[in-house]
Chain A
Amino acid sequence: MKISAFHLMPHRELPDDFEKRYESVWVTPPWWELADARRVGQYYNWTLDELLHAARLGFDGVCTNEHHQNAYGFMPSPNIMGAVLARATNGSNVAIVQMGATLPTSNPPVRVAEEYAMLDCISGGRLVAGLPLGSPMDVNLCYGITPLEHRERYREAFALTLKAWQAREIFPWNGRYYQLAHVNLWPRPIQQPHPPVWVPGSGSISTFDFAVEHDVCYCFLSYSGARSAATMMQGYWDVVARRGREPNPYRAGFLQLVAVAESDARAEEKYARHVEYFYHKCLHLPGAWYSPPGNQDYRSLVATVKNPVRRAENPKDLRYRDFVEKGYVIAGSPATVRDRLREEVVKGLRVGNLMVLLQIGSMPHELAIENIDRFAAEVLPHLRGIWDDEGWVNHWWPERLRGPAATPAAAGVAAGGR
């Protein structure tokens, strides 16, 4: 089992009536009314501190991601954060999991290949290369990429990136969207033939196919928990079986919101308002923006319209106890959290690469640290060995970090950053 700390870097202090006063948390929230650059500087530093704290306590990886023009999670460049994390964790066995830089918004996309190679060099070969399509809000609405060309552009950029890392010769790329006469990447990654690749998604069938075809780890980034993910993840494992790939749990990743306290009741006292802030404010945006016309290919569009996935309830109608009961958030005592994570998420969905979001919405720094502490001490050690008896190899993890996790105190100083 590999367990990584995920972070969104949200705005932690949106006004109480935010969702009533503003159209959206994404694309159009007015910076000058809602934010202050000095305060935001504090958020970035808290985010880095929280991830580094998790790294010191023995998490297997730290995850950052790319989003634009929003108060939900604003690391427009995950690689800037990743660079800080890579440097500061040298000497430890924590993976730098970039979830990651978005190919269609990087022009030319070899920029991502270069920056990831830099991170791999700086970290001594500890990079996990997440290669996301990017959300329609980021890619289409903020960065102006035509929805109908989004996926095709991604596929071309993906192929170019993989080739740029591995090619022994300088090569020309005469693509539909990108034309480069001399691709000759400096630097190249330490990991050969290339760093492990994860493709995050939100349940689209064509992304399953893509992930299995390219033999990469598919990561379901969900905010509605394992129960509503069960059908989709089963669909993923069906594709894996149909394509004759082994049912290795490490070819699946899953993101889960988690909040740990002394008891279930204390968890509610501590975390309820931060969880509600996340679902009510951080996900406040017009539904149509998740799928502008053309973003879905024709077959997916027909499938979605004709067989709509059971309409998920509106999170704005739900309160803390609903979120916990439905598994959107796994919260409570350490025993509650580890049992639910093991049964519902890890075993239920067959997940080898688990990501947990421990700083949620408005959660202040001190409480986030407390949540990380409790998870590291009382949950993480109980989950770590779950898949060990089946003997799978995590091909989607940096090779030098694949062994059993070292105890945090034993993390030496000589390992990385050669």
Chain B
Amino acid sequence: MNERTVSVWQGQVRMRVLSKGRGPALVFFHGPWGLVWDPFLDELARSFMVLAPEHPGTTPDAPDDVHHLDGLWDLVLCYDELLDALAVEGALLVGHSFGGMVACEVAASCPRRAGGLVLIDPIGFWRDSDRVVNWMMLEGTRMRAHVFRDPDGPAARLLFGDAEDEQAAAAARVRLMWAMGVTGKFVWPIPDKGLRKRIHRVAAPTLVVWGKDDRLVPPVYADEFARRLPRARVEMVSGAGHAPHMEQPETVARMVRDFAGSGGAA
């Protein structure tokens, strides 16, 4: 795996980008719990050049860079600059949860940026009758049970950085809390920041992937996305909660490959 740190926003925002693989470019936007390189990304790296940037503020040694961004508009432009720096145009944009919303916003603001779009349990819409659970208000064990179908499985242990070693556990706790804080800046207290007014601008074909047992963002939101996107299809994933790409990595990676191979992505 390679890594490089790209400075954008006049040098004020440093974003580390992990990358691996060969093939067409695929940009992965991580969720509110920070970026961990997981088996899903390894699987994708067999067919794509995977580029996984870290959301502003989550890059090590640059926690306060996020304070240079005031809102979602700044964040989208920040990613626009990052994609310029990475020299990717028309790539496959894949986003999970909060990252799904960001990927969708980027594809709506700069339609030519996205050759294809994969949204995995994205946030971005709100229904009073099917509320998105605010993960930032949940105690540790309840949060795990809301994010994962199996709160003690390997995927949960990987994302939440379970460790025997006290120092490693403390570092993981800091990483997790800060990742939620700096992503929460853009969605607190209700994760509907107007995507519904902009989503019609998305030109790319879109695959919407949802974990059947998502207890954080109810699967009914898959219909919201499918209904509002011009070219979208939905795939439900059994045996998974809010992070199906982590609980069923091979299944979701195959869905992404098939979608790209069928001309879903440029």
Contacts and interface: CB of A to CB of B under 8 A. Distances in A.
Interface residues on A, range: 20 to 34
Interface string B61-96: 001101100100000000000000000000000000
A140 to B, nearest CB: 7
B37 interface: no
Q: Is the interface of A mostly helix, strand, loop or mixed?
A: helix
B178 interface: yes
A293 interface: yes
A193 interface: no
B181 interface: yes
Contacts of A140: 188-189
B177 A288 contact: no
A295 interface: yes
A146 B188 contact: yes
A200 B137 CA distance: 24
A90 B134 CA distance: 47
A168 interface: no
A285 to B, nearest CB: 11
Contacts of B179: 293
Contacts of A144: 188-189
Contacts of B177: 293, 296, 301, 305
B94 to A, nearest CB: 24
Contact of A294 (B70, B137, B139, B181): B181
Interface in B172-231: 173-174, 177-182, 184-185, 188-189
B175 to A, nearest CB: 10
A97 B179 CA distance: 39
Nearest to A28: B137
Nearest to B169: A305
A294 B184 CA distance: 8
Nearest to A287: B139
A146 B178 contact: no
Nearest to A148: B185
By secondary structure, the B interface counts as helix
A124 interface: no
A152 interface: yes
A135 to B, nearest CB: 14
B136 interface: yes
A293 B170 contact: no
Interface string A283-303: 000111100111110100110
B163 interface: no
Interface string A127-149: 00000000000001100101111
Given A140-B189, A298-B178, A306-B170, A148 B139 contact: no
B138 interface: yes
Given A146-B185, A294-B182, A301-B177, A289 B63 contact: no
Given A147-B184, A286-B137, A293-B184, 6 more contacts: A144-B188, A146-B189, A288-B137, A288-B138, A292-B136, A301-B178
Interface of A: 140-141, 144, 146-149, 152, 176, 286-289, 292-296, 298, 301-302, 305-306
10 interchain residue pairs of minimum CB distance = A294-B181, A293-B180, A293-B181, A298-B63, A146-B188, A148-B185, A144-B189, A288-B139, A293-B177, A305-B170
